[in-house]
Amino acid sequence: MIDVNPQILIVDNELEICNLFKDFFDFMGYKSEYETNGEKVLSELELMNYDVLFVDLKLDTISGLEILKKSKSIHPLSEVIVVTGFGTDETVLSALHYGAFSYIQKPISFSEIKIQTDIALAKKRFNKKTNKIRDLIIKNDLSLMEHFNNIINLDRFSNFLNLTIDIDSLADSILSGITEIIPCKYSMFLFLDDINKEMVVFSREPINHSAMVAIGNKIASFYENLVNKKLDKSYNVRVSLSTTITDDENESQPELLSVFAPILIENSIHGVLGVANEDEMIPVAAMDILQLISVRASHVLTNATLHRDTKLLALTDGLTGLLNHRAFHQRLISEFERYRRYGSQMSLIVADFDDLKKINDTYGHPVGDEMLRRIGDILREASRETDVLARYGGDEFVILLPQTSQKNACNMAERIRVQVQDSVFQIQGFGVKCTLTIGVSSVQREGLDSPDDLFEAADKALYEAKRSGKNQIAIAELPE
C-alpha cells in the first residue's frame, strides 16, 4: 500500500534551505517538518516520526553522520538522504556505510529530490514486507533465518558496490560489505594489475603493526600458492578508511584463523579476499559467502579497471605514459582555481628537449622515441605525488607545482637539467646524450591572473632561454 501522506523531516542549519524543502514537500502533498538545531534533533530523535530524513552533513556543532547513525539505530525502516555542499569519496562512503539511502550534492535539484524521495519510500515499503517474512521465518527455523539474512546482506552488498566505479574507493566498499555479512575481526583485500597494486586491511578495533604483518603474510602466502609464484613486494599496504593503527610494536604476531577466496578478472587471478579471527573460529558458512562476495566484487572490479583504463587512454600520452595536452590543461585550470581560493603558491616548469630532430636524423626515430620515454622517467622520478606532469607536445614537457615557490621550482628545474645533461642513455647499442632548456613561471607575482597567463609566461621564458643558447633555465620576467 502506498503511503498517502509520507512524513518528511529536514535537518539543515540553513533556514533558507529548510524553507525551500518544506515548500516543495507541501506542494507535493507530503507532511514535512524541519529543524536547524542538529543537537536538538540528536537528543529528541526517539520522539520524532518520519518516513524519510534529509540531513545536512555539516551542521553547526555536530556531523550529520551522527544523526544518520542514530536514526538507523532507532528508526531502521526510515530512510536517510544526506545532503551537503561538499563531499569527498571518503564522506560519501562513510554515509553509505552507516546506512544512508543516497547522497545529494548542493545546489539541490528538486526533480532529483522528488525521484530520490519516491525511491526511498518504495524501499521502506519493500523492507516492511521483508520484515514480515523474517518474523514468520524466525518463529519456525533459525537456520533458515540465517540464510534469509545472508540473502538480504548479499543484496545490500551488491547495491553498495554499484554506487561507485572508482577503483581507488572499491577496496573500502568491499571490506565494509564483508564485515557487515561475515562475523570476523579482520577482513582483507589484495588486488594486483598493471596499475593498481594494493593490499587493504580492515579491523573492527585499532590494529597494531604485528597484526598487520601477520595478516599480510597470510594473504600473500595464499595468493602465492594460488598462482604458484612469489608475490612482488612493490604493492602498497594500507588500512581501510575506518581502521586505525596503534604504535604498540612489542605485540607478538597473533595466530590467525582465516579463510580466503580468489578474485578473478577475465578468468585470471588478480587478487584475494579474506576474513580472519584471532581466537574464534570462522563460521562454517563464511567460505561460501566469501566466494559469492568475490564473484560480485570481481564483476565490479572488472568494470572499474575497464573504466580506469579507458579514461587513462583518453588522458595520457601513449609514448611516455604522462598526461597529455588536454588532460594537463584540465588540471591546470582546476589547480589554478584552488590557488585562487586558498591563496598559497604555485609554479610551472616548461621543458623542451633540445635538438630532438638531430637525434632522430642521426640514430632513427625509435631511438628518439626511447629518449623521450627516458626523459619522461627522469621527470617522473623528480616530481612529487602532488605535482602534475605531462608531455605537452612532441618534444615539450610541463610540470605544474602546487604549493611551490619560484625559488623551489628553479631548484627542481636545475636538478632535472643537470641530471639530463650528465646522463648517457644506452639505446640500441648507442650512447646518446641530450639536454633540456627550461622556462619557469610562478603566480607569486602581479599580472598572472589566469592559467593561460601562467603557462604563457613559462613558455616565453623557455624560448628566451632557447635563443640564449639552450641547456639552461630562464625565469619569467615580471609583466610590464
What one-character DSSP code corresponds to residue 48? -
- Asked whether the beta carbons of 346 and 335 are under 8 A apart, the reply is yes
- Asked whether the beta carbons of 216 and 236 are under 8 A apart, the reply is no
Q: Cell 540464510 belongs to which residue?
A: 147
* Given 309, 395, 453, 459, the catalytic residue: 395
Peptide bond connecting 206 to the previous residue in cis, omega within 30 degrees of 0: no
- Asked whether the beta carbons of 259 and 290 are under 8 A apart, the reply is yes
User: Would you call 247 a catalytic residue per the annotation?
Assistant: no
- Angstrom distance (rounded) from CA 47 to CA 358: 80
The percent helix, strand, coil of the chain (3-state, each to 5) is 50, 20, 30
What one-character DSSP code corresponds to residue 388? E
State whether residue 264 is helix, strand or coil. strand
Backbone angles phi, psi at 8, to 5 degrees: -115, 135
State whether residue 32 is helix, strand or coil. strand
Cell of 370: 626511447
| 255: Cα within 13 Å, side-chain hemisphere | 3
- For 200, 210, 287, the CA distances from 292, given in Å and listed in that order, are 20, 30, 9
Catalytic residues: 395
